[in-house]
């Protein structure tokens, strides 16, 4: 279970390299400190583990490929739009701000922006970002580990 999530994290490292390359071409002011790069790698791997485990849980619950694709899209798109990936939480309506603060993707985006972009500060605080990402990943891995054996047997 955990290995599957972290193998997804390793695959996302190539995507991270592409994002860095495109950012360079576009002239984005990136933070190249070794500590920032290490933190980006850790956050990307944890986020990949988090969301691939989320997908595995959905697959365990719905059991067919067609349902998985439908339910996966129904859950994934709102997670993206109800995060701070597009708009800062400061300009969100109160109800959406609550949803964004409950959404682990908001903390992933906040941490990545802080570590990748020069001169950027964390909205939520890096300690809180890491805590939410780690706690969410742990809860989903434990949940997935309990669901998967029932499906396999």
Q: Compute the C-alpha angle 67/68/72, nearest 5°.
A: 115
Does the pLDDT of residue 2 top 90, yes or no?
no
Candidate from 25-39, 70-84, 105-119 with smallest mean pLDDT: 70-84
Closest Cα partner for 100 from 87, 84, 121, 111?
84
CA distances from 66 to 54, 57, 72, 109 (A): 17, 15, 10, 30
What does the pLDDT look like over 100-133, one tens digit per residue? 999 999 999 999 999 999 999 999 999 999 999 9
Query: What does the mean pLDDT of the chain come to?
Result: 88
Q: What are phi and psi of 109, to 5 degrees?
A: -60, -45
User: Given this model, what pLDDT does residue 70 score?
Assistant: 80
Average pLDDT over residues 119-148: 94
User: Stretch 3-25: mean pLDDT, rounded?
Assistant: 79
pLDDT for position 73: 81
Residue 150: pLDDT above 80?
no
Q: Does the CA dihedral 48-53-56-57 come out positive or negative? A: negative
């Amino acid at each position: 279970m955990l290995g599957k999530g972290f193998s997804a994290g390793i695959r996302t490292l190539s995507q991270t390299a592409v994002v860095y390359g495109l950012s360079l071409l576009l002239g984005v002011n990136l933070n190249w400190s070794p500590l920032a790069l290490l933190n980006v790698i850790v956050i990307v791997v944890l986020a990949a583990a988090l969301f691939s485990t989320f997908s595995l849980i959905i697959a365990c619950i719905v059991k067919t490929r067609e349902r998985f694709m439908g339910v996966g899209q129904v859950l994934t798109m709102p997670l993206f739009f109800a995060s701070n990936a597009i708009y800062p939480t400061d300009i969100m309506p109160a109800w959406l701000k609550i949803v964004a603060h409950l959404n682990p993707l908001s903390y992933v985006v906040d941490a990545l922006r802080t570590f990748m972009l020069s001169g950027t500060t964390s909205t939520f605080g890096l300690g809180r970002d890491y805590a939410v990402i780690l706690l969410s990943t742990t809860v989903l891995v434990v949940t997935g580990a309990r669901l998967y054996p029932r499906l396999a047997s």
